[in-house]
Structure 1
Amino acid sequence: WFGTDRFGRDVFARSVYAARLDLTIGIVISLLAMTVGSVIGVIAGYFGGAIDEVMMRLTDVVLAFPGFVLALIIVAALEETMINVVLAVSVSFVPYFIRLTRAQVLKERELEYVDGARLAGNSSLRVAFRHVLPNSLGPSVVGATLVTGYAVLTVAGLAFLSVGIQPPTAEWGVMVGEGAKDIITGEWWTSLFPGGMIVLAVMAFHFIGDEFGGDTAS
């Protein structure tokens, strides 16, 4: 349906096959960033004081770099493996979840059920992670769907620049990068269709996030 590339490989089959890799990586990055960010966010928001101040300043330092540039620097500094790509992109999204969770925890810690948990003799750590954190994850879950789309886009962008995932792996960014060389000879479909798959994936996760956001708000 999508034609073939310069090596005679079916572009449609490779685009569909690449979805498994790209979507899996995107979901793993989102879950990893949400897990780390939520833990740091609940510690900063619940305990406050110097802990909160230090963590927020470190977050500001990370946010000073554009996410894509930060991921590019980390992957370039490490060995260009798929695991390092996942870790690097996850690091770039962790501050987003830290701020989401912290903002929600600041609201939750003032509610009566938290006072009740304290009066019941629970330790501060137990109250924070057993009671406050589960009730503060709503915005982070919604944010995770949006981050998944951005993660797919970031990983594809790195692969397009030949950073991380390398040919001949069937991956959307790799396919766009390989196809870009053929556009000048008129073979536009080798990069257009994989690029379209990236757009569809990002839009799909945004729509899912909008639906989750509406359900959470209601």
Structure 2
Amino acid sequence: MNPDEDTEWNDILRKHGILPQQVKITQNDIYDSAVEHAREEESRRLEKLDLDELDELEDEEDDQILQQYRQQRMAEMQAQVDKEKFGELFQISEPDYKTEVTLASRDTWIVVHLFRDSIPECKLMNKHLALLAQQYRSTKFVKIISVECIHNYPDANLPTLLVYGKGDMRGQLVRLDKFGGMRTKKKDIEGYLKDIGAIDPSLRRSLPGDGDAESEDDDGDGRGVYFDLGKNL
């Protein structure tokens, strides 16, 4: 016996509750199912389109789903713009430090370079940081004259990087000895910051000719010299 068959005996059994009532599928049910399936297929297709492609479709279609995906893409782009708001190496002074670094680091990663213009390694570090600031715009890169940040800070410890995140110091790099001094590459500093978590590789922007000017040959071992500065700041 097939309980799904529409027979007189099955009708009697359904009447007495022995078999469940037969669900009748109407033309409206078939239509609604087809519409839902079509919308699911359309959703999967639209998920793969960027904003320009959605704009092109908008000229041809006026669909609520299309509008929703377009608004979603615009919101995602705006969120990206809001996050990547820096893009350059800023110079600050002692009065700015608390606001620009200590307090600001609660919401974003901040890389601070203690420098002096008279030291070649500091000039090299500023060059590398200026490029990294363009590539990682969600991270704030600043520089400050060393003795303004820490009074009587020795030139022998320059250049010095202080890395802040979540309102606290997360890393310190003193001098460029282990990177090879004046042979230090931008990728050395980039790797150091990446290991700490101060820069997000997924947000890295390419620069014209990036990688062409730097040789892959590197005598450094990827490590710096560390010096406890926390008690001075």
How high is the TM-score relative to the length of structure 1? 0.28
Structure with max Cα Rg: 2
Which of the pair has the greater relative contact order for Cα pairs under 8 Å at 6+ separation?
1
Q: As a proportion of its length, which structure holds more helix?
A: 1
Q: As a proportion of its length, which structure holds more strand?
A: 2
How high is the TM-score relative to the length of structure 2? 0.27
